[in-house]
Amino acid sequence: MPFPLLVSGVGVAATLAALWEAFGTGRPQGILALGIAGSYKPDILPGEAVWVQSERLADTGRRYRRKFIPTPPHLRGDFPLAWEGTSPPAWLPLPAVEGLTIQSVSGSPHEARFWQRNYPNAAIETQENAAFFLFAWRHRLPLVSVRIISNRVGSPKWYKDLALQNLHTFAQRYVAPLCEWILEGAASPSPK
């Protein structure tokens, strides 16, 4: 496999630290990010795989009781809060979704509704996916991000065993072809 295996841990900070450390040993040719996620959408069920086509770092800004205002561009410099990635290859028929990265898991239906109200296009929630998009965008690296659904966002019931088993099966079947696809010229993310 042309890509080194990297286990980043949970969260944006842990993921960026792991990416920077790995980057110190040489420039990668691309990033294939695999993991689990919660679903905001009732039609995306636990155990299903999704292709994260776009991603948003959602909780950088000011939170009010019912709404969230992202940090304005003049306070962020050239740091985007959302990125657009590539579409899945035709041979991998996965639904393409928008992901939402927040620093902590939405642990209640109330919390899930808050993020859905503020980002209605978001289909999934993770704690680290924006780190992959940011890193790939900053270094102009091709990125593929696939997530297996582990839970409904805001629900205490998780299907981690199912999600991890399906992630294992997906990786066995698709890691090599996806690495080849990346090397053949997949694009890096761009600000949205």
Other CB atoms within 10 A of residue 2 CB = 11
The alpha carbon of 76 is separated from its chain's Cα centroid by a whole number of angstroms, namely 21
Beta strand 122-126 pairing with 96-101: parallel
DSSP string, 75-110: HHTT--SEEE-PPPPTTS---EEEEEE-SS---SHH
Given this model, what pLDDT does residue 77 score?
79
Q: Are 83 and 189 in contact (CB under 8 A)?
A: yes
Q: pLDDT digit string (tens) for 38-53?
A: 999 999 999 999 999 9
- What is the per-residue burial (b if ≥16 Cβ within 10 Å, else e) of 27-53? ebebbbbbbbbbbbbeebebebbbbbb
Rounded Cα distance between 99 and 95, Å, is: 12
Is 12-191 a domain of CATH 3.40.50.1580?
yes
Rounded Cα distance between 128 and 137, Å, is: 15
**Which residues are within 8 A (CB) of 130 and not within 5 positions of it... i.e. 6 or more apart?**
12, 55, 56, 57, 83, 99, 101
> How does DSSP classify residue 156?
S
Given this model, what pLDDT does residue 46 score?
98
Given this model, what pLDDT does residue 49 score?
97
Q: pLDDT digit string (tens) for 85-102?
A: 888 898 998 999 999 999
Run means of pLDDT, 10 residues per run, the chain, 192 residues = 68 86 82 94 97 91 82 80 87 94 88 92 95 91 94 95 97 92 86 81
